[in-house]
Structure 1
Amino acid sequence: MEAYSDGVASIRHHETGRIYEIEGDELDWEIVDGDERQMGPEFHHEAVFEHPELGKIVWGLWEYPVGVENYRKTDAGPHEVVEDLDYGLIHTRDDSDDWFEPPPPDDPFMVFMDSYHGSSDLLAQSGSDDGGHLVNRLVFSHQVTALEAYLGDTLKNEVFRDRQAMQRLIDRDSDLKSRKFTLAEMAADPQLIERIVREHLQGIMYHNLRKVDVLYGIALEFGILNLAADKDSLFAAVLLRHDCVHRNGSDKDGQELKVFTKTFVQRTADTMRDLVQGIEQAVLARRTPPSATP
């Protein structure tokens, strides 16, 4: 089972009375706690959203016994939940599903750089100085997606290349360390641990840069955000891509966004390229053993 959230939550600020909206697909769920009880394990699923005006809003689901929703709670602090999200538990795919995720490429860095150069060429040739131009938005969205793919593919490659990195992830990631298996399950599937880790990494939303920063810090022992020259522009780019993909280039109020000039799109792409180059250098450095002292 995994948690899902759909729809829009409307929350009224306790002081100003203004109503703010939070969309379900903006939430990232994780298992934050687990406990063994009479009928098996209990899992606590949680999604935390940091709103600039409302502060921290927390959605919680308790699964007990496994596969059954036992309790749910929305904590908006002092604010009023006018209308809540549609959220709950849903069955995940199993081995009988007729699709699979292909393995990551051997060299995610080269894939990203090819995408960077190709999209930059397209922007220069077919883009416009008009900040609402369709080609500009398409290039911008593609570039953010390329960054997400690089972050995910690189992490997966390194975790499965380095057994210690995988063990750190198992020991310290809140979702993985709460998983419990019987000896029978482990005996029936010798690759159980690797499969669970792979499925977990495949399910990460790699546009959640703060979460990805934590995962890199755990597994690879370096964060990604401290390698970024301009973190704010990266966070903004993720939100703007959401508006491009889900609202056709308009904000929550339906106003068309006009920020996607050729200069803005290329500058953002260069910021992402610089981040990827910094990550790649850190990855290569951790692969290279320190030189022996003569």
Structure 2
Amino acid sequence: MSDYQDLCEMYGRSPGDPEFIDDLIDEFSEEEYEWFSENEDKNHFELLAEQLSSVGEILRMDVPQSAQFSFLVMIHAHVVSALEGYLAGAFIHNVCNSEELTRKLVESDPEFANRKFTLREIYEQKDTLKLTVSTYLRGLIFHDLKKVVPMYRDVLGHRFEDLSWLFHAVKKRHDCVHRAGLDKDGKKIDLSVDSIFELLEKAIDLANGVERSLAELKRKDL
């Protein structure tokens, strides 16, 4: 199932319904718009760095042995979620604040390109476009790396290096969230303080790489 299909299912609509996106925008409440306005200017890298730094401090706490595994399960899930939030926030902020990047998204994303409006109509309604793009992107699942990797490449020009560690971490996160740290066979997944520290290091390295690409984009615009 695609991200767009997931979004349609969330709202009880059909992927073939040409009115879905327009109706979704009409339902975009004032409260949600205020949330978007307040959060689009956040420094998502700084937010991620603060979250990961706090995890590092928490990992140094004394935790009873009987609670150690549950503690690591929660921390692992939190780190992956924080990274997912960064990937989403950084992408949405930069795309929604650039007509060029918005156009790249519209032209490169197959599901977005199939909307009923044309590119001419899009650029005649720039205010609505910003909300349309924001709503669509906020409905995507940013730990779905098969979707995120090509979006970052095609829209932001960022190419991720080896992400096998992140695929593995996301899979573990699924076990943490849905089975309290047990795999499909009911066995505890492999987690340790060292594995979390390693994940923290790789997460911040990944984000640093994204930030370098974003900085390069801004230099090109000058």
Please state if 1:281 is matched with 2:212: yes
Q: Which amino acid aligns with 1:253?
A: D
> CA offsets per residue over residues 258-281 of structure 1, 9 Å max, x none?
x11101111112111111111111
> Which residue in the other structure is 1:207 paired with?
143
| 1:232 Cα offset (Å) | 1.3
The answer to whether the Cα contact below 8 Å between 1:128 and 1:261 also exists between their aligned partners in 2 is no
Where do 5+ consecutive residues of structure 1 fail to align? 1-26, 32-44, 46-61, 69-90
Larger relative helix fraction: 2
The 3 A distance-change label for structure 1 pair 99 and 133 is: farther
Please state if 1:218 is matched with 2:154: yes
Larger relative strand fraction: 1
> Which residue in the other structure is 1:55 paired with?
none
> Which residue in the other structure is 1:15 paired with?
none
- TM-score for the superposition, normalised by structure 2: 0.79
Where do 5+ consecutive residues of structure 2 fail to align? 9-13
RMSD across aligned C-alpha pairs, in angstroms?
A: 3.3
Q: Distance in 2 between matches of 1:92 and 1:193?
A: 13
Tell which has more relative contact order, 1 or 2 (C-alpha 8 A, sep 6+): 2
The answer to whether the Cα contact below 8 Å between 1:243 and 1:251 also exists between their aligned partners in 2 is yes
The answer to whether the Cα contact below 8 Å between 2:156 and 2:213 also exists between their aligned partners in 1 is no
**Number of equivalences:** 208
> CA offsets per residue over residues 205-243 of structure 1, 9 Å max, x none?
0101221111111211222x22x4xx2111000010011
- TM-score for the superposition, normalised by structure 1: 0.61
The answer to whether the Cα contact below 8 Å between 1:169 and 1:215 also exists between their aligned partners in 2 is yes
Please state if 1:245 is matched with 2:168: no
Report the structure number with the largest CA radius of gyration: 1
> CA offsets per residue over residues 77-101 of structure 1, 9 Å max, x none?
xxxxxxxxxxxxxx96851769637
Q: Structure 1 runs of 4+ off > 3 angstroms?
A: 27-31, 62-68, 91-94, 96-99, 126-132
Question: Among the aligned pairs, what percent are the same residue?
Answer: 23
The 3 A distance-change label for structure 1 pair 107 and 98 is: closer
